[in-house]
Amino acid sequence: MRRRRRDDARRSGPVLAGLGLLAAALAAELAWAGWSAPETRTRLEGERALVGALGLSDTALFTEARYTRHPSLADLNTPFQDHPGGFDHFPSASIVPVPALPESGRLWFAGEEEPS
């Protein structure tokens, strides 16, 4: 009975300490992010130089299909690349969105050809 009363009396102590500990862990993680920044920068510069030297244009994140491995160079203009109305054959195609497409379906005219 007495033990229960003591529990009730200062229940917030350990809980607040736990929250403080979690906040400290978050702060430590953020500090680590800042601390590892120079190392990260060096790695990214190396990777960037490699991209330039090899002439890479896309990430190797999805290696299932042409249009997910190289979304920026995919031949999206190919008719019937998959079967019409078919569900995506490859699961990652549901994650990779359609890259920037022409804004409208209108044909583009040079200034002097613009219909009045």
Partner 1 sequence: MTPWLRRQRALADYTLAALARRRGKNAALVAVYALVVFALASAMFFAAALRHETTQVLQDAPEITVQKILMGRQDLVPAATVEKIAGIRGVTRAEGRLWGYFYDRTNGANYTVMVPGDKAMEPPAGSVALGEGIPRARGFTWDGAPLFLSRFEGDLQKFEVVRTFTRASGLMTSDLVLMNGADFRAFFGIPEGLYTDVVARVRNPREVDTVVAKAGALMPEMRFVTRAAIQRSYQKLFSWREGLLAALIGAAVLAFVIFAAEKASGLSAEETREIGILKAVGWDTRDIIAMKLWEGALVSGGAFLIGTVAGFAHVFFFGGTLFAPVLKGWAVLYPEFDLAPQVDGVQLLSLALLTTLPYVAATLVPIWRTASADPDAVMR
Q: Which residues bind partner 1 (CB under 8 A)?
A: 8-12, 15-16, 18-19, 22-23, 25-26, 29-30, 32-33, 36, 40, 43-44, 46-64, 66, 69-73, 75, 77-79, 90-92, 94-97, 99-100, 110
Least distance in angstroms from the C-beta of 85 to partner 1? 19
Q: Which is nearer to partner 1, 85 or 97 (CB)?
A: 97
Three-state helix/strand/coil letters over 37-53: HHHHHHHHHHHHHHHHH
Least distance in angstroms from the C-beta of 109 to partner 1? 12
Least distance in angstroms from the C-beta of 49 to partner 1? 7
Helix, strand, or coil here: 29? helix
The HSE-up count of residue 110 (CA atoms within 13 Å, CB side) is 1
Amino acid letter at 16? L
Q: Which is nearer to partner 1, 55 or 115 (CB)?
A: 55
H helices, E strands: number in the chain? 4, 0
Cα 36 from Cα 21, distance rounded (Å) = 22
